[in-house]
Amino acid sequence: MASYKLLIKRSAAKELEQLPPKDRKRVATKLQALSSNPRPPGVEKLSGLERYRTRQGDYRMLYELDDGIQTVTVVAIGDRKDVYR
């Protein structure tokens, strides 16, 4: 499988920086894995949007895929109770 380019929106990068260091490392590792496999087991497509959701503990990462140019764009990172708002 070809490698996808990982892009992180500025707002998502700020959300990532605000996480506790231990959680930040786990979330960053999970995001890096999306570049080699953008649809790993456990990923769900969100209804009504062309976005996908993956999770790491209590945190959710929302991202968009563009298979044409092979990019993964992370649009939001946050606690499961707040990220969908």
Number of domains in the chain: 1
Average pLDDT, stretch 57-74?
A: 94
CB < 8 Å & 24+ apart, contacts of 9-15? 9/73, 9/74, 9/75, 9/76, 11/75, 11/76, 12/74, 12/75, 12/76, 12/77, 15/76, 15/77, 15/78
Q: What does pTM read for this prediction? A: 0.90
Q: Is residue 37 part of a domain?
A: yes
CATH code at position 12: 3.30.2310.20
| pLDDT score of 81 more than 90 | no
pLDDT at 1: 56
Average pLDDT, stretch 8-25?
A: 95
Residue 67 lies in domain: 5-79
| pLDDT score of 38 more than 90 | yes
